[in-house]
Amino acid sequence: MRVGLARVTVNLVKLHVSQLNGCAPCLRLHPREAAAGGWESGCVSAEAGAALALAEDVTHL
């Protein structure tokens, strides 16, 4: 479910939550999804930054 976010933002959130949780299989999958979706390392929009901050706040290890 996308809930109105850009696909690249959703993929970045998945990647970040995987990092927070230390999920090795997900850490192999989500970088490929993010790159395929057009994300370039170092380029994070304001929308993506807010989504990443929210994901970090609600992720419980």
pLDDT of residue 3: 66
| Spatial distance between the Cα atoms of 22 and 47, rounded to a whole number of angstroms | 24
What is the distance of C-alpha 48 from the center of its chain? 8
Residue 14 has, within 13 A of its CA and on its CB side, a CA count of: 22
Residue 22: strand, helix, or coil: coil
| Spatial distance between the Cα atoms of 24 and 21, rounded to a whole number of angstroms | 9
13-53 pLDDT, tens per residue?
999 999 999 999 999 888 888 888 777 767 778 888 899 99
Q: How confident is the model at residue 6 (pLDDT cuts 50, 70, 90)?
A: confident
Q: What is the CA radius of gyration of the chain?
A: 11
